[in-house]
Amino acid sequence: MSGEVFRASLAVRSRCALGEGATWCARTGRFYWTDIEGARLYRYDPATGERTSWDMPERLATFALCADPHYLLLGLATHLAFFDLTTREMRRIVEVEPGLDTRLNDGRCDRQGRFVFGTKHEGATLRAVGGFYRLGRDLSLERLPLPAPAISNSIAFSPDGATMYFCDSPTREILACDYGADGAVGNVRVFTRLTDSDGVPDGSTVDADGGLWNAQWGGARVVRYGADGVETDRVSVPTSQPSCVALGGPHLGTLYMTTARVELDAAALAAEHGAGAIFTVPSGRRGLPEPLFGGQWR
């Protein structure tokens, strides 16, 4: 590692069981996230300190900002849906993996405004039976020809959109593949490998220079990798389970991190007062505006 080690600071004192889905809305200057196990969506305005939350009908695993600012695209445990932030009305789009013991997990929009996401196995013995999918702007759903994951994570796209990053967390490998504007994927390869002591790769985001920032569950850290897969920067997080990251703030230079309390025993929770909270740190890098889902509620 050649870069500086940064230390994250508490930004929002929350007690999420499983904070995830870190997303910065550049249009409004607000930060969104979900507590998956708490089945709740959150929004925080750092300019005013205002916090808003919405209860969900089932666990909310992932979501995306939409081209229409009134709505979000929700990846609930079993299906995709549109959500009206004002009226709280929902419109179901499509069920995902019916009949399988899986739920939706990580997701991000590609540079063309399509939503790419993966699933997570929830059986007693973890198995790689899930998939990676793409919801098109016409609301059609397709499965991508990528390796089946047990726990999908780290979905992100290079600044030019030509590379997709993803992982199956238990393998401790972040993968990359070629990603065409027409949706074609191929040339799957290992981007970087974590060691047993590093924790496991969780949610990621990409900065304007093409660096991948990855939250490392169990490792109490976020690591930035250059486009060559070599570590350049590290953020020390004062709780062991950082889960997802986003670059936000007025100049998209602040790293926002979600964290979790699940799987921590009483002694760990007593020691990790910030578990489940939101942390931030100046990144020294510039982010990219989050791509918007181009599909319409109709």
Cα-to-chain-centroid distance, residue 241? 14
Q: Tell me if 103 is assigned to a ligand binding site.
A: yes
Catalytic residue (choose from 106, 110, 202, 233) = 202
Specify whether the CB–CB gap between 57 and 81 falls below 8 A. no
* Coil, strand or helix at 169: helix
Question: Contact at 8 Å (CB) between 93 and 82?
Answer: yes
11 is written with which tokens?
A: 């930004």
Reduced to 3 states (helix: H, G, I; strand: E, B; else coil), residue 127 is coil
Task: Please check if 187 is assigned to a binding site.
Answer: no
Separation CA 122–CA 132 (nearest Å): 16
Q: How many other CB atoms are found less than 10 A from the CB of residue 108?
A: 24
Is 202 assigned a ligand-binding role in the annotation? yes
- CA dihedral (136, 55, 46, 241) in degrees, to 10, reads -80
Burial class (CB in 10 A: 0-12, 13-18, 19+), 65: buried
Written as six digits, the tokens of 110 are 């590609």
Widest CA span in the chain = 50
Can you name the residues that pair with 51 across neighbouring β-strands?
44
Q: Residue 7: beta bridge partners?
A: 236
202 flagged as catalytic:
yes
What is the bridge-based pairing of β-strands 278-282 and 19-25?
unpaired
* C-beta atoms surrounding 148 within 10 Å: 16
153 in a labelled binding site: yes
105 is in an annotated binding site: yes
Distance of alpha carbon 97 from the chain centroid: 20
Known binding residues for substrate are 103, 105
Known binding residues for a divalent metal cation are 20, 153, 202
> Which residues are the active-site residues?
202
Known binding residues are 20, 103, 105, 153, 202
